[in-house]
Amino acid sequence: MFSTNKLVALFLVALVVGSLAGVATAQQGPSAGGAVVIDEGETYVGDLEATGGTVIIAGTVDGDVSTAAGNVVVTETGEVTGSLEGVAGSVTIEGTVDGDVNLAAGAIFVRDTATIGGTMEAAGGDVRLDGAIAGDVRVGAESVTVGPSAQIGGSMEYDAATATIDSGAAIAGGATQVDDVELVGPPVFGVPVSQFEGPVIPAWVFTGYWLLANFVLGAIIILVAPQFARRVTGLGTKKAVRSGGVGLLLVVAVPIVLLVLLLTIIGIPLSFAGGVGFLLALWVASIYGALVLGTWLLSLADYDNRWVALFAGLF
């Protein structure tokens, strides 16, 4: 089945394209807007490539359909004479698709009125099959449900954490649960979904960002309250055991007080507000701790500079 990385990445793709204005490209096309719609009774000749918040096919598309959208619906009166492939937040098929269906979505529904003339591949969070599918079916999902009205002309392979296959479902080739079912998947911006990975952010980026944020906070502390910072570093270096003991006591005592407040109805808001304040206080305290550490390290070389001490304590 698809890795979590791929499913998350596909969700993000669907979320992004779902927020865009609809765009359709082909030999002729519907008006662009928040939704791409083929109305009932309308015939669209040629392959349809649609991107939008919602793609609705209530008429006929005489060709293949490729879509990336928030929601895709082929209504009961809708017909696609070719294949249907796409990435979306949700896909609902109530009408007819003469060719193959290849989808990746958060939710995929093939209703009992639906007819698919070819094979079906589906990857998603929730996949439900209630209609007629002439060919083989391969599904990788968190949850798979095959309803009593489902008719599958070929075999079915699925990989899912939860699978429910009604005894009334007709599956000519039988249903088999497999590990890591092989799915090619629809293309995402020209890249097969089986090869698609979400953006990988190196760990050093997070580390660098955190160090920079700490340094900025330390700089604010030094600039806004320089005398207080000097007193804290002086106390921390000369009376480390005492100041450390007080800090440890507060770290233990404050969460206990917040927990007690949480157990009382009236104290719940105070507990949450206090928790946020406590976390911020811990962050500020960690900066002061780094400043104390840096000051102590510099004192070994008989050198005193708050900026260098901050840098040394953090890095």
Beta bridge partners of 122: 103, 139
Lookup: tokens for 76? 């009961």
* Helix (H/G/I), strand (E/B), else coil: 277: helix
Lookup: tokens for 60? 């006929």
Q: How far apart are CA 307 and CA 305, in angstroms?
A: 6
Q: What is the pLDDT of residue 110?
A: 97
Of 222, 241, 208, the closest CA to residue 284 belongs to 222
| Per-position pLDDT tens, the chain of length 315 | 444 445 544 554 554 444 444 444 443 444 344 578 899 999 999 999 887 678 899 999 999 999 888 789 999 999 999 999 988 888 999 999 999 999 988 899 999 999 999 999 998 889 999 999 999 999 988 899 999 999 999 999 999 989 999 999 999 999 999 887 767 666 554 555 555 555 555 667 777 888 888 888 888 888 888 888 777 777 766 665 565 666 677 677 778 887 887 777 677 778 888 888 888 888 888 888 888 887 777 777 777 787 887 777 777
Q: How far apart are CA 43 and CA 207, in angstroms?
A: 55
Q: Specify the pairing of strand 35-38 against strand 48-57.
A: parallel
Q: How far apart are CA 229 and CA 285, in angstroms?
A: 11
Q: What is the pLDDT of residue 239?
A: 64
Q: What is the pLDDT of residue 46?
A: 92
| Own/partner pairs, 166-171, CB within 8 angstroms, 24+ separation | 171/146
The residues near 217 (Cβ < 8 Å, ≥ 6 apart) are 283, 284, 287
Q: What is the pLDDT of residue 188?
A: 53
Q: What is the pLDDT of residue 28?
A: 43
Q: How far apart are CA 83 and CA 26, in angstroms?
A: 15
- With residues binned 3-state (H G I as helix, E B as strand, rest as coil), the percentages for the chain, rounded to 5, are 35, 30, 30
Q: What are phi and psi of 41, to 5 degrees?
A: 90, -10
Chain-centroid distance, C-alpha 251: 34
pTM: 0.56
The tens digit of pLDDT for each residue in 27-65 reads 344 434 457 889 999 999 999 988 767 889 999 999 999
Domain ranges of the chain: 4-195, 203-314
Q: Report yes or no: 196 and 177 within 8 Å, Cβ to Cβ.
A: no
